[in-house]
């Protein structure tokens, strides 16, 4: 393994945001690029949507236009939220009353849902059909793909969720990348800050690699699953298809693909 993005993610499956991964020789080099990338690619919230406090009414973001709930019908059918206007089904994002948007550097793609009580700061791009659930705290520099979940009482900052990645319950995801179809069990914590001073270093094949980053959480390859209340140390790189069993502390270091981490 060269510890490049291709060792952890199927780059052929990344159709959106591919440029973010290109030219990186080490997978953690993606994270310092994230803030600038988001600011270059985000379409800011329409000016009619209030920011800085709880939304007093719900909004639908559709084709760059903001529609208040009073102008549409929001219904739930077969477990899915639908937006109707004059009998037409609209492809838009739904922002429920009580959600908090801290600034305008936030974009919601069609099908995304933000539940009451979630707080989001920019720059953040929420991908299509992604759920931001009640009580989620998104602190900025966050990019999600399609079909992701940032769940109840989950805190996320400077992180990438590829398609289908889910942190559904009571998780902390800091300075980390979650590959496709990663699932974090309830209470998973991806720690990102060393107890001692200095940058995060990763021991691999007899070398101590200095990432140059003061904060670096975990890189979880495609299909990684963590059990409830598991923890990763700063600078933990877990290969695709691996399992971290409940209550296990993983890393730091490089964990090969298809590993099973036990106590």
Residue 263 pLDDT class (50, 70, 90 cuts):
confident
- On average, the pLDDT of the chain sits at 96
Distances (CA, A) of 206 to 113, 209, 220, 253: 46, 10, 22, 11
* Segment 226-249 mean pLDDT: 98
Rounded Cα gap, residues 167 and 150, in angstroms: 5
Rounded Cα gap, residues 236 and 202, in angstroms: 8
Q: For residue 123, how many other CB atoms are within 10 A of its CB?
A: 23
* Segment 103-127 mean pLDDT: 98
φ/ψ region of 161 (left if φ > 0, alpha if ψ in -120 to 50, else beta) reads beta
The conformation of residue 46, written as its DSSP 8-state character, comes to P
pLDDT at 104 over 90: yes
Mind listing the pLDDT tens digit for each residue in 38-81? 999 999 999 999 999 999 999 999 988 999 999 999 999 888 89
CATH of region 5-44+103-261: 2.160.10.10
Provide the residue count of the chain.
263
**Widest Cα–Cα separation across the chain:** 65
Mind listing the pLDDT tens digit for each residue in 209-234? 999 999 999 999 999 999 999 999 99
**How buried is 225 (Cβ within 10 angstroms: 0-12 exposed, 13-18 middle, 19+ buried)?**
middle
Full-model pTM: 0.96
Task: Give residue 185's pLDDT.
Answer: 98
The conformation of residue 210, written as its DSSP 8-state character, comes to E
Task: Give residue 197's pLDDT.
Answer: 87
* Segment 103-108 mean pLDDT: 98
CA angle 214, 236, 40 (to 5 degrees): 55
């Amino acid at each position: 393994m060269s510890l490049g993005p291709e060792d952890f993610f199927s780059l052929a499956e990344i159709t959106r945001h591919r440029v973010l991964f290109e030219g990186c020789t080490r997978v953690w080099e993606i994270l310092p690029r994230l803030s600038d990338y988001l600011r270059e690619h985000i379409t800011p919230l329409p000016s009619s949507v209030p920011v800085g406090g709880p939304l007093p009414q719900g909004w639908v973001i559709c084709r760059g236009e903001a529609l208040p709930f009073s102008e549409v019908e929001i219904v739930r059918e077969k477990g899915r939220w639908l937006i109707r206007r004059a009998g037409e089904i609209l492809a838009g994002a739904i922002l429920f009353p009580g959600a908090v948007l801290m600034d305008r550097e936030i974009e919601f793609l069609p099908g995304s849902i933000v539940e009451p009580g979630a707080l989001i700061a920019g720059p953040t791009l929420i991908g299509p059909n992604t759920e931001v659930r009640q009580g989620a705290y998104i602190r900025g520099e966050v990019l999600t793909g399609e079909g992701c979940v940032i769940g109840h009482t989950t805190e996320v900052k400077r992180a990438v969720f590829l398609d289908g990645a889910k942190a559904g319950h009571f998780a902390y995801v800091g300075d980390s990348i979650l590959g496709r179809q990663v699932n974090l069990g309830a209470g998973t914590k991806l720690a990102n800050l060393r107890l001692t001073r200095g940058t995060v270093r990763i021991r691999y094949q007899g070398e101590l690699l200095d990432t140059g980053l003061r904060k670096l959480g975990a890189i979880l390859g495609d299909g990684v699953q963590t059990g409830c209340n598991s923890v990763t140390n700063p600078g933990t790189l877990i290969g695709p298809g691996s399992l971290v069993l409940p209550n296990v502390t993983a890393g730091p270091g490089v964990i090969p693909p298809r590993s099973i981490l036990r106590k």
